[in-house]
Structure 1
Amino acid sequence: MNEAFPPGLPRAPDPLPQNCHIKKPRLIWYDRIRQGTQLNAIVEAVLLQAAVCELLVKHPHPNIAAYLGCQVSQGRITGLCFAAYQCTLMPQVNRAPASSDVMLDGRGEAVIIDFGSCKRVGESLEGASRTYERYDERVGTARLQNDLDALAEMRTRLGDGARPFLFGE
């Protein structure tokens, strides 16, 4: 990353706890970003998620991932440290292993682990990391209804059956 570790963000414990997960930046986007106009997009995405996690630490909830701080190497953030969870929600949906922004804890409770599209109400969602088939592509700004629609879509995909899919299949 190009930016120095900002003051005010907590560092993850050193040594790291055994039962933790380090979320690393998605460097697969690097080539696409390098050719665009937002050269610091990866850095900004990591800093945004760290700031959101700091806010959530002040308002804990059992269905929000436990954030442990930033993993730092040579003065740069290399990852965000979270408590580890049992498995992703996706195998429960389609019985195939896949990455997911929702995990299940040891009791089968859903835990949100990804905050890449977390924005203040009214802010643009351009460039936000959103999960395919869990958002309305026509919506370009953050609004409370986005989360409610995504939750309803997840319920349908989990077999609620009360209504058809909203965002494609």
Structure 2
Amino acid sequence: MVNEELLVFSARDLSPRYEAFSEDDDEHGNPIFLYSSFGYITDEYIAYFGRSNIRKCDLNQKDIRESLKRLPDEDVYPKAPPNITVVSTPIDDDNLFLKRPKLHLDFLGTGLLPKLMLQEAETMELLRRHPHPHIVRYHGCLIKRGRIVSLVLDRLPDTLQHRLEKSAQHFNVENCIRKLTSAVYHLHSLGLAHNDLTPLNIMVNKYDDPVIIDYGSCQPFGSTLITAGTPGWIDEDFTISAEQHDRSALDKIQRWLEERSKVQRQTR
């Protein structure tokens, strides 16, 4: 049973929330629901994870509290290296974003979650020493119990995808692609490939300038990847870091932006 002090009131308090479905459809052609899974991290960065045979939209407080089980720190958070940049609390939530590990059933008990977080922290430390205006600014790590529990990054208004979904009118596609390309080439000059460029991994600031985020798959060329690519934004599945993945994604993003802008003009 979950600790009674946990402030979990509804499914809205859970993050992330997933649903799994069978590969086969039912007799009416609808996907067959298998289970929902969900994570919860307390204010003290104690991680919990749960699984239920109830759809996530139907979960109530009792279902959630009975399903959540505490995860050992060593299954979620890496030990903080001595040379890591440390950010002190309290955190300015209005201007800073805390990136926590994504609790997922596939990773639990594998040792991959701490490894992923440490790899991303090390990548961000390198980028902190070699900054670029269109790569998200990293301030350091939040440390609890001797472990990295969160990366501290600039908070930005919106993703590129949500910005274009709201309105593509007056959005400067050429400016966006030029600045994205500059940021990607900066990564490549450091021997890194992002490996997961999508409109959801690009933010826009108040001037509509793009800022690349999410460096969980960013690794030196030739490195084996734990996670990589997003369906629809890659040519094929891959497990090795390479410049070509970013070039291909940039081409797809440019076509997507141009199509969005074209549709917007036609509907005016």
Q: TM-score scaled to structure 1, two decimals?
A: 0.81
Q: Does 1:34 align with 2:108?
A: yes
What code does the residue aligned with 1:131 have?
Answer: T
The verdict on how the C-alpha distance between 1:131 and 1:94 changes in structure 2, with shifts beyond 3 A counting, is: farther
In 2, the alpha carbon distance for the partners of 1:142 and 1:129 equals 8
Rg comparison, structure with higher value:
2
In 1, the alpha carbon distance for the partners of 2:96 and 2:237 equals 36
In the alignment, which of 115, 124, 128 is matched to residue 224 of structure 2? 124
The verdict on how the C-alpha distance between 1:137 and 1:93 changes in structure 2, with shifts beyond 3 A counting, is: farther
Q: Which of the pair is proportionally richer in helix? A: 2
- Is residue 63–residue 111 contact of structure 1 (8 Å, CA) maintained in 2? yes
Q: Does 1:20 align with 2:104?
A: no
* CA distances 1:98-124 after superposition (whole Å, capped 9, x unpaired): x92111112111101111111111122
Structure 1 unaligned residues grouped into runs of 5+: 162-169
Q: Which of the pair is proportionally richer in strand? A: 2
Identity %, equivalent residues: 29
What code does the residue aligned with 1:107 have?
Answer: Y
What code does the residue aligned with 1:133 have?
Answer: G
Structure 2 unaligned residues grouped into runs of 5+: 1-72, 168-198, 261-268
In 1, the alpha carbon distance for the partners of 2:200 and 2:237 equals 22
In 1, the alpha carbon distance for the partners of 2:97 and 2:237 equals 33
In 2, the alpha carbon distance for the partners of 1:155 and 1:12 equals 36
What number of residue pairs does the alignment pair up? 153
In 2, the alpha carbon distance for the partners of 1:101 and 1:13 equals 26
Structure with the bigger RCO (C-alpha within 8 Å, sep 6+) is: 1
In the alignment, which of 102, 105, 108 is matched to residue 205 of structure 2? 105
Shift of 1:129: 4.0
Shift of 1:43: 0.4
Q: Does 1:115 align with 2:190?
A: no
Q: TM-score scaled to structure 2, two decimals?
A: 0.53
